[in-house]
Amino acid sequence: MSQVFAPPPDIDRLRSRAWLAAAVGIAVSAGGFFLDRGQFFRSYLVSWLFWLGIALGCYAVALLHQLSRGAWGLMIRRALGAATRTLPLLLLLFVPIVVGLSEIYVWARPEAVAADEVIQQKSWYLNRNGFLLRAALYFLIWMGPAWLLNRMSLRQDAAADDRTFRRMQGIAAPALGLYCLAATFASVDWLMSLNPHWYSSLWGVNFIGGHAVSAFAFIIPVALFLAGRKPMDEQFQPRHFHDYGKLLLAFVMLWTYFQLSQLIIIWSGNLPEEVTFYLTRTEGGWLWVSILLAVGHFALPFVLLLSRDLKRDARKLAWVAVVLLVMRWVDLYWQAAPAFAHGEGQHGLHLHWLDLSTMVGIGGLWLAVYFGELKKRPLLPAFEPYLREAVADE
Q: Where do the domains of the chain lie? A: 10-391
Tell me the pLDDT band of 133, cut-offs 50, 70 and 90.
very high
Per-residue exposure over 21-40, b if at least 16 CB sit within 10 Å of its own CB, e if not = bbeebbebbeebbeeeeebb
Convert the pLDDT of each residue in 64-86 to its tens digit.
999 988 888 899 999 999 999 99
Average pLDDT over residues 224-229: 95
3 pLDDT above the threshold of 70: no
218 pLDDT above the threshold of 90: yes
Task: Using CA atoms of 390, 150, 177, 88 in order, give the dihedral in degrees to the nearest 10.
Answer: -140
Contacts of 268 (CB under 8 A, 6+ apart): none
Percent pLDDT > 90 in the chain is 80
Contacts of 320 (CB under 8 A, 6+ apart): 245, 248, 301, 304, 305, 310
Tell me the pLDDT band of 2, cut-offs 50, 70 and 90.
very low
Tell me the pLDDT band of 45, cut-offs 50, 70 and 90.
very high
* Euclidean distance between CA atoms 58 and 73, whole angstroms: 11
Backbone angles phi, psi at 289, to 5 degrees: -65, -40
345 pLDDT above the threshold of 60: no
365 pLDDT above the threshold of 60: yes
Helix (H) or strand (E) holding 301: helix 300-305
Closest CA to 64 of 185, 226, 219, 191: 219
Range of weakest confidence among 37-51, 74-88, 115-129, 371-385 = 371-385
Convert the pLDDT of each residue in 139-195 to its tens digit.
999 999 999 999 988 887 777 677 887 888 999 999 999 999 999 999 999 999 999
C-beta of residue 289 within 8 angstroms of C-beta of residue 330: yes
- The per-residue pLDDT for 341 is 61
Q: What is the value of pTM for the model shown? A: 0.95
* Euclidean distance between CA atoms 253 and 105, whole angstroms: 31
Average pLDDT over residues 387-393: 78
Contacts of 269 (CB under 8 A, 6+ apart): 275
Mean pLDDT, the chain, integer = 92
Closest CA to 195 of 116, 258, 136: 116
Tell me the pLDDT band of 346, cut-offs 50, 70 and 90.
very low
- The per-residue pLDDT for 347 is 56
- The per-residue pLDDT for 340 is 83
- The per-residue pLDDT for 394 is 66
Q: Which amino acid is at 70?
A: G
- 10 Å Cβ neighbour count for 188? 17
More confident: 392 or 333: 333
- The per-residue pLDDT for 349 is 85
274 pLDDT above the threshold of 90: no
Percent pLDDT > 70 in the chain is 97
Average pLDDT over residues 325-336: 97
- The per-residue pLDDT for 155 is 83
DSSP states of 189-234: HHTGGGSTT---TTHHHHHHHHHHHHHHHHHHHHHHHHHTSTTGGG
Average pLDDT over residues 361-380: 96
